[in-house]
Each structure stands twice: as structure tokens, then as C-alpha cells.
Copies of this chain bind each other. A is one copy, B any other.
Amino acid sequence: MAPTESKRRRMPRAERERQMITVAEEIFAERGYQASSMDEIADRVGVSKPMIYEYFGSKEGLLVACIRAARADLLAATTASVEGLTSAEDALRGGLEAFFGFIDSHRRSWALLRQEAAVAGQAAMDEIEEIRRQQAQVNAALFAAYLPDLPEHDLEAYGEVVVGACERLATWYVGREDVRRERAAAIIMRMVWHGLSTSTHGDR
């Protein structure tokens, strides 16, 4: 008797939740949200399905938890990088480099954010949209503070453009091992910063 490990460990809720999120990230990334089954996630965690429902409510709830975790990581990485940088240009470049650094070390989370959000319905989409909106507003504030010539009516739009540019360039970036994050950041800087700061301000 006494199989090598007969009794599965009992865990406090917080720890179990973290473990479930980790496993869910893996499986969602492997199979995609749609093709992932809650049974498989439960199996790999070593627990039964109703536990996950107890803690996260639904499959979409579990995905939302994964997205929130990724967002927290991203936010931590970017805000930490801006510490101590004083000029707006340095701050923007620093933030961009941190962003691409995050991509390097969290490909799994990134795929989740980019690809698996729409699947689940409004809650997950809203969660992702919230990240973008947050980032766009940070950018807009930066522009407002350092580029007073810009028409303020469009500041929001410029912020959005930067977010879109980063998101898309990141997809290109993950497919090219030979590109370092400084270079990716420089590409964005060139278009965004250079294009805005050398303003002919006569568009209107």
C-alpha cells in the first residue's frame, strides 16, 4: 500500500488560487481559451473542478483573474523602470524598454492578453480594454505636460496611437529573436516622439 504520494496536500485558499492561475495561464497559452477544458485544468492542479468554480465562479472568471495578474506584472515592470528618470523623453523611452522587456520574460502572459481576451465575452474584454485605456491616459498626460503645443483635443488620440503601436510592434517583436528591446523602443520613439515634438502645428 502507501502509494508514493497518496494524500494530496491541503492548501489555504490564497495559495491554491495562485496555483490555479499559474496552471490556467499555461493551459490557456497551450491550447487557447476555447480548447481548454476546466476538467483538464483541475486535473493538472490536482484538485476537482468545483474548487475552481468555488474560487473563480466561471471559466471566464478564471481568465479574468489571469489577465489581472498579468496586468499587475506589467504595471509593476513599467512603473519600476521610470523611477529616477527626469526628462519626458527618457521617461517614455524607459517605459517602452521596460514594456518590451516584459514581453521577453512573460511571453505566456502576453499571448493571453493579446489573443485570448475576446473569447470569453464582455468581462474579459473590458479587463483588457482597461489596461489599454490606463496606458493611453498615462501617455496623454506625458504629452500634455511636455508638449504644450499639441492641440489638447487630440491628446487622448495620440495616447491611443502609442498604445496601438506598441501592441502591434510587440507581435512583430516576439517573432524576431535578433531584435533587442532597445531597438524596438527606438522605433516607437522615432515615430512617436520625433513626429510629435517637431511639430509644424499647422494641421488644423
Identify the A interface with B (CB < 8 A): 32-35, 114-122, 125, 132, 154, 156-158, 160-161, 163-169, 171-172, 183-184, 186-188, 190-196, 198-200, 203
CB pair B32–A121 under 8 Å, yes or no, is: yes
Chain A interface SS verdict (over half): helix
**B residues near A33, Cβ cutoff 8 Å:** 118-119
Of B158, B160, B172, B190, the residue contacting A196 (CB under 8 A) is B190
CB distance from A129 to the nearest CB of B (A): 8
- Assembly of this chain: how many copies? 2
Q: How far is the CA of A118 from the CA of B117 in the complex (A)?
A: 7
Of B119, B164, B183, B196, the residue contacting A169 (CB under 8 A) is B164
CB pair A187–B161 under 8 Å, yes or no, is: yes
Q: How far is the CA of A188 from the CA of B157 in the complex (A)?
A: 9
CB distance from A35 to the nearest CB of B (A): 6
**B residues near A186, Cβ cutoff 8 Å:** 203
Given A168-B167, A186-B203, A161:B118 Cβ within 8 A: no
**B residues near A168, Cβ cutoff 8 Å:** 132, 160-161, 163-165, 167
Nearest 9 pairs of A and B residues by beta carbon: A195-B195, A164-B168, A119-B119, A191-B195, A164-B164, A118-B118, A161-B165, A160-B172, A194-B195
